[in-house]
Structure 1
C-alpha cells in the first residue's frame, strides 16, 4: 500500500481537475441515459398520434441529449487525460530526482535495459491510475445514486432492482475477475521489463553477437519472453471479454426486471404505459458506467507493481551523505586525503586503506599502479560518487562533505577512461561542459585537443552527429572530444583518469603537450598506468592494494628499483 499512498499524494494536488473530470464523465453517461430514455418515450408517445406540438419538448430533449453526450464525453476525455499527463510528468520528475543522487554507485547492479523499462514502461503504466482505476468506481456510484433517485420517483422498487444489478455487476464480477487474474498484472510488468532488458542487451551487443554467432540464441530468448507476455495478455483479453459478456447479461436482466415490474404497475394503473420503455431503456443505458469496473483490480495490480519498481530505486539510500546546506567558500584549490579508507561493499576488501597525501594549489600529482590498485577509487571519492568510510578528504581547507555534490563537480574538470557521448552533434556534446560557450571558445578547445581539423573534415563540421555512444567516431576521437570538454570547462582542478587511453603514440604526445599547458595554474591529479611524461609531475604516488607503497619524483622512483621501476620496464618493453 506504500506505493499507492505515494501515487495518491502525486494526484491530490489536481483534485479540482479530478472532480471536474468525474462530473463530466457522469454527465456524459447521464446524457446517454437521457438520450435512450427520451427516445423510448418519444416513440411511445408518437404511437398514440398526439398533436405534434405535444412532442416538441421530447424532440428537443432527444437532440439536446444527443449533442450534450458528445460534448460532455469530449470534455471529460480532455480533462481526464490532462490530469493523467500532469501526474505522469510529476512521476517522471520525482523518479529522476530520486535517481540522480544514486548514480553511479547505486546503479551498478541495475541493468541498463531494466532501468530503461522503469523510466519508460513503468511510468507509462501509471496512465491507467486515474482513467481505469480511480475514476470508474466514483462515476458508477454517482450514476447509481442519480438514476436511482429518478427511478424512485416512479416506484422505489425500480431503484432496488437497479441497486441489486449494480452490486452484482459492479462488485461481484470484478471480484470474480480479480480471483481469475490474480498475479497476472505483476507478471506482465515483470515480463515487459525482462523483454525490454533483453532487447536492449541485444542491440547494445549486436556486434559481439554477430561475431560470435549468438544472434539466433538471443533472438530465441527474446521470442520465448514475448510468448510468455502474449500468453498473459491473451488471458487478460479473455477475462475482459468474459466480464463484458457478464456485465451485458446483468444489464439485460435488469432491463427485463424493470419491464416485468413496470408491466405489473401499468396493469394496476400505477404507471403510465408510455413511461415503461423509457424506464427500461434508461436502466439498460445506465450500465455503461459499469463496463470499465471489471478490470479495475487488474489495472490496480499493474499500477502497484510498476510503482513498487519505481520506489525500489528512488527510495534507495545514496552512496554519499550531502550536508544539504550551502557550500563553504574554498580557501584555495588544494586537495588533501587524510588516512582515507574506502570499500565498495561492507564485506569487500579495502579499495583504499588509510590513504594520505596532499596536492597544493596549482600542484601536479600522478597516481600510478597496477590494475585494481585503487587509482580510480580516488577519482570516485573526489567526484562524490561514493562516500569514504574513514578519514577525511579536504578541498580548499574544508571537508568535501560540507560541499554540495554539484559544487564539488563544478570545481573539477575530468577526463575518464570511459567517455560517453550523446547521440547529438559534436557541438552539443562539447556544450555539455559549458552551455553558454561561444563559437570561438568551442574552436579553441577543439584545437587544443587536436580535434579541430578532423571536425572540419566532416560534412557538417561542428554540426555533425556522432551517433549513439559516439559510434561514428574512433576511440581516439571520442577521447579527444572528452579532452576538449575539459579545455572548454576550464575548471580550477583537473583530473585525468586514463585520459590518453585509445590514442596513438603521436597523438598522445601532442594532446599531452596541450594538457601540460592546461595544467599551468591548476591543481592537477593524473591517474594513469602509462608513465609517459610523468617526469613533469611534482610528485608521483605508487598504489598497490589501496596503499601507497612508493612516492617521489620520476627519477627518484626509478632509482629505487621497486614497483615503479618494474612498471616502467614493462611499459618500455611493450612500447
Structure 2
C-alpha cells in the first residue's frame, strides 16, 4: 500500500523528529507506569515488614518520582503526538484542496458532491486515526516488548523469551485474528460510508424537488438506506470486537501469572523475597493498556487502507500555465479564434472550430441542446480548460495569462449559486470583502431585494440557511447577482441561471439581470429563447459547432428554423 504512496510517507519524513519524540515519550509514559507499580508494591510490602522511614526512604523517593513522571510524560506525549498529527493532517487537507481546485472542472463533471465530502471529512480523518490508533500504539507496544524482554533477560533469557512469546500474542496474533475476521466487513463499511455521503448530499441538494413531487418517503428511503446498512454492520463489528478484547485480556492475564510463578521460583519464598515477587507481577497491569489498543487500531486497517487508496487515486493534472500578467484596466474584446477542445486523444471533440468576438458591453446568448458543449465553452473562456488548438484571447493576450487575477476579469452566475450559512450581508460581500454596508445595500437594491431583506428579523444580518434554503430559487439568484455587482468584473458569464424557475420569476430575473449588467460584457448560456431579444447576438451551438448566428431581430426575419424554435419555445405550436 505504501509503495506508491504520496500522502503518508512524505509527512513521515517531514516531521520525523516530532514522530520520534512522540514515540519516545509514549514509551517513557508506560515505563514510568510500570516502575510506579513496581516501587509501590515493593514499598507496601517492605513498609509492612519494617515500618522505618530510613529503611523505606529510597522506595518512597522512587515512587514519588515515577508517580510524577508518568502524568508528565503522558501529557508531553499527547501534546507532541497531537501536534504531529495535526501538522500532518493540516498539510494533507491543504494538499487535497489544491488538488480539487486544480481539477475543479474535472471533478464537477465526473464526481458527485458526496465524493468530495467523503474525501474532505472522512478519508483525512481515517488517515489521522491511522497515526493515533494504529502506528503509535503498535510502535510503543513493540518498544515496551523489547524493553521487557531485555530486562527479564538479565535474570533469565529462557523465561524472557517465554514472556516475549506471550507479548507477541497481544502484539501480532490477536490483532491478526481480528483483522482476518473484520477485513471484508470493514471494506464494506467503507463503501457504505462513501455511498451514504453521496446519497445524503444528492438527496439534500434535491430536497426541493422531492418536496414538490410529494416523494418524501422515497427521499427518506434513499437518504437512509446506506446509513441503515452501515449501522447494522457496525453493530456486528462491535460485538466481535468485544469478544476479541475479552480473549486478549484473558491471554494477557497469563503474563502476570507467569511472572508470579517465575519470581517465586527465582527468589524463593521468604518474606524478603515476597516483596520482589509481588512487585514483578504488578508491573504488567498498567502495561495492559499499551497492548489492548493495538488490536483495535490494526482491526481498522482495511478502513485506513481504503482511505489511503482513495487519496492516492487522486492524480492532479499537470497544466503548465504561461507567465502571468496583471489585470488590464479595461477589456475591449474577448476573442475565440478557431477553438477546438477534447479531454484527451481518445475522447471525442466537444468544441470544433469555434470563432467568436465579443466587444466591450456586448450581450450574446448561447443556445443549444444539452450536452452540446455550452458549459465546456464557458470553461474555456474562463481558463478552467485549455483549448486543444486555437486561442481564447482578451485584447490579444491569452486568457491563461490572467488566471492569477481572474476574479478581477470574470464573474459567473450559474444554475445553483452557493450561499453559505452566514448572514445575507456576508454572502453578498463575498464579491468584494472590503465593501461597506452602504455598498451592500446598494447592490441589494439594484437586484430588487432591499425591501425583502429589510423585512427580515435581523435585516442584512439575518442568517442564510445552508445552501440558501431559506430563500426561493429566484431570490437565491438575485443574492448571487448582488454579489456579482460588488465584484464589478467587466465580463459576466451566465450559465443557465433561470433553470428551474417558473416563467414569471424567470422573466423578472432576466429583466433584472440585463438592467444591472447593462455596462458589462455578457455571455449568457440559456436553454430557450425567452428573453434573448435583449441580446445583441444569438448563437446556436450544436455538436461543438456554431450553426446559427445573428441578431435576434434579423434571425426572426430571415431564418425559418429560428422562427420555428421561437414559436415552440413560446408554446405557440
Could you tell me the TM-score, scaled by structure 1's length?
0.87
CA shift, 1:424, in A, is: 2.3
* Shift in CA distance, 49/394, structure 1 to aligned 2, threshold 3 Å: same
Residue 308 of structure 2 corresponds to residue 317 of structure 1: no
CA distance in 2, matches of 1:27, 1:115: 40
Q: How big is each residue's C-alpha offset from its partner over 1:178-226, in whole Å with a ceiling of 9 and x where there is no partner? A: 2222233322222222223333344344454455564445545666534
- Whether contact under 8 Å (2:331, 2:490) holds in the other structure is no
- Whether contact under 8 Å (2:199, 2:223) holds in the other structure is yes
Show the counterpart of 2:23.
Answer: 22
CA shift, 1:305, in A, is: 0.8
CA shift, 1:570, in A, is: 4.0
**Where does 1:96-495 land on structure 2 (aligned, <5 Å)?**
96-209=97-210, 212=213, 214-217=215-218, 219-220=220-221, 225-267=226-268, 272-312=273-313, 314-317=314-317, 321-323=319-321, 325-327=323-325, 332-342=331-341, 350-369=349-368, 374-404=373-403, 406-495=404-493
User: For structure 1, which runs of at least 5 residues remain unmatched after alignment?
Assistant: none
The two structures, once aligned, show a CA RMSD in angstroms of 3.3
- Whether contact under 8 Å (1:364, 1:525) holds in the other structure is yes
CA distance in 1, matches of 2:255, 2:532: 89
CA distance in 2, matches of 1:430, 1:6: 37
CA distance in 1, matches of 2:20, 2:280: 29
- Whether contact under 8 Å (1:535, 1:553) holds in the other structure is no
Q: How big is each residue's C-alpha offset from its partner over 1:47-78, in whole Å with a ceiling of 9 and x where there is no partner? A: 43353421232233334333432333233223
Show the counterpart of 2:515.
Answer: 514
- Whether contact under 8 Å (1:185, 1:305) holds in the other structure is no
- Whether contact under 8 Å (2:6, 2:312) holds in the other structure is no
CA shift, 1:374, in A, is: 4.2
CA distance in 2, matches of 1:224, 1:53: 71
Q: How big is each residue's C-alpha offset from its partner over 1:14-58, in whole Å with a ceiling of 9 and x where there is no partner? A: 333322222222122112211221122223323433534212322
- Whether contact under 8 Å (1:445, 1:487) holds in the other structure is yes
CA shift, 1:99, in A, is: 0.9
| Structure 2 SS opposite 1:126 | helix
Q: How big is each residue's C-alpha offset from its partner over 1:301-338, in whole Å with a ceiling of 9 and x where there is no partner? A: 221211222333x32437xx341642476695422122
Show the counterpart of 2:547.
Answer: 549
- Whether contact under 8 Å (2:34, 2:286) holds in the other structure is yes
CA distance in 2, matches of 1:236, 1:11: 30
CA distance in 2, matches of 1:346, 1:559: 42
Q: How big is each residue's C-alpha offset from its partner over 1:67-115, in whole Å with a ceiling of 9 and x where there is no partner? A: 4323332332233223223322222222111111222332333222332
Count of residue correspondences: 566
Show the counterpart of 1:562.
Answer: 560
| Structure 1 SS opposite 2:441 | helix
CA shift, 1:433, in A, is: 1.3
- Whether contact under 8 Å (1:184, 1:298) holds in the other structure is no
| Structure 1 SS opposite 2:539 | strand
- Whether contact under 8 Å (2:102, 2:316) holds in the other structure is no
User: For structure 2, which runs of at least 5 residues remain unmatched after alignment?
Assistant: none
| Structure 2 SS opposite 1:6 | coil
CA shift, 1:175, in A, is: 2.4
* Shift in CA distance, 263/238, structure 1 to aligned 2, threshold 3 Å: same
